[in-house]
C-alpha cells in the first residue's frame, strides 16, 4: 500500500492570521486610549441632568402659574420669563457640554500628540482649555444658585402639600387659609383670594396642581444637582487637559533639543 504523505501546515498563513489579529487588537487598544472617559462621564451626567431639568422645570413652572391664575386669581408674568430663561440656559449648557467633550477628545491619548504638535496648536489648545475652565467655574456657581432656589421652591410646595393632607384628615375645616403666607403672593392680593374653599377648588389645588408640581420640582432639584456635579467633573478634566498640553509642549521642546544635539554631533 502507498503511504499517505503527511499534511504540511501552512506556517506562513498562520503567521499572517496572527499578525492580522494582533494588528486589529492594537488598533482597538489605540482607539480605546483616545477616549476621554472622565469627560465622557461628565457629558452623560450633564445631558441626563439637562434633559430632566428642562422637562420638570417647564412642567413645574406651568403648574405654579396655573395655581396663581386659577386658585388665587393672581397673574404673575415673570414666571413665564424665568421658565424660558431656564430652558435657554439648559440648551446652552448642552451645547457647551458637546464642545467640552470635543476638547477632551483632542487632548487625550495619541490624538494629543498629533493635534498639538505645532507651537500654535499648543497655544490654541491651552487657551481653549483655559476659556472653558473659566466658563465652567462661572456656570458651576450659576447652577448652585439654581439648586438653592429650586430647593426653596420644593420646600414651599412640600409645605402646601402638607396643608392639603392636614385638610383631608380634618373634615371640620372646609378651607385652607394662606393668610399667614401672604408674603409669598404679590402685593394687592385680597384675603378672600388667599382662601381655598370648596371641594372642587381643593381638588384643583391639591390633587391637580400641588401634587404634580411638588414631584416636578423635586426632580428638577435633583437634576440641577447632577448638572452641578457634571460641572465639577468638567473642571477637573479641563485642568488635567491643560496640564497635559503644557507637558506636551515641554516634551516637544526636549525632542527638538535632542534632534539638534544629534545633528551637531553628526
Instruction: Give the pLDDT means over successive 10-residue stretches in the chain (266 positions).
Output: 50 51 51 74 94 95 90 86 93 93 78 67 82 93 96 93 82 76 77 82 87 94 96 91 71 60 66
What's residue 68's pLDDT?
Answer: 87
| Contact (CB, 8 A) for 93 and 49 | no
What's residue 45's pLDDT?
Answer: 94
What's residue 256's pLDDT?
Answer: 60
Cell of 154: 420644593
Among 178, 200, 198, which residue's Cα sits nearest to residue 190?
178
Place of cell 499517505: 4
What's residue 112's pLDDT?
Answer: 60
Can you give the pTM of this predicted structure?
Answer: 0.79
Place of cell 441626563: 48
Give start and end residues of each alpha helix (H) in 107-210: 109-115, 119-169, 199-202
- Residue 176 — φ and ψ, nearest 5°? -110, 120
Cell of 251: 516634551
**239 three-state secondary structure:** helix
Coarse DSSP helix, strand, coil percentages of the chain, rounded to the nearest 5 percent: 80, 0, 15
Cell of 180: 399667614
What is the sign, positive or negative, of the torsion defined by CA atoms of 202, 203, 206, 208?
negative
Cell of 167: 385638610
Amino acid at each position: 500500500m502507498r503511504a499517505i504523505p503527511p499534511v504540511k501546515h501552512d506556517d506562513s498563513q498562520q503567521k499572517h492570521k496572527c499578525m492580522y489579529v494582533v494588528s486589529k487588537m492594537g488598533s482597538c487598544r489605540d482607539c480605546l486610549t483616545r477616549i476621554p472617559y472622565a469627560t465622557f462621564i461628565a457629558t452623560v451626567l450633564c445631558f441626563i441632568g439637562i434633559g430632566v431639568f428642562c422637562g420638570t422645570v417647564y412642567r413645574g413652572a406651568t403648574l405654579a402659574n396655573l395655581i396663581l391664575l386659577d386658585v388665587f386669581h393672581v397673574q404673575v408674568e415673570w414666571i413665564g420669563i424665568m421658565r424660558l430663561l431656564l430652558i435657554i440656559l439648559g440648551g446652552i449648557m448642552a451645547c457647551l457640554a458637546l464642545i467640552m467633550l470635543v476638547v477632551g477628545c483632542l487632548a487625550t491619548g495619541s490624538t494629543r500628540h498629533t493635534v498639538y504638535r505645532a507651537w500654535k496648536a499648543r497655544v490654541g489648545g491651552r487657551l481653549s482649555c483655559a476659556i472653558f475652565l473659566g466658563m465652567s467655574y462661572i456656570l458651576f456657581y450659576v447652577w448652585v444658585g439654581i439648586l438653592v432656589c429650586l430647593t426653596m421652591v420644593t420646600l414651599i410646595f412640600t409645605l402646601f402639600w402638607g396643608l392639603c393632607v392636614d385638610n383631608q384628615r380634618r373634615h371640620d375645616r372646609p378651607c385652607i387659609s394662606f393668610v399667614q403666607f401672604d408674603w409669598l403672593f404679590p402685593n394687592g392680593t385680597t384675603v378672600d383670594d388667599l382662601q381655598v374653599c370648596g371641594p372642587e377648588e381643593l381638588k384643583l389645588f391639591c390633587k391637580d396642581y400641588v401634587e404634580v408640581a411638588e414631584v416636578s420640582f423635586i426632580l428638577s432639584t435633583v437634576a440641577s444637582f447632577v448638572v452641578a456635579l457634571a460641572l465639577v467633573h468638567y473642571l477637573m478634566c479641563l485642568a488635567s487637559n491643560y496640564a497635559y498640553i503644557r507637558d506636551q509642549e515641554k516634551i516637544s521642546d526636549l525632542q527638538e533639543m535632542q534632534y539638534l544635539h544629534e545633528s551637531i554631533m553628526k
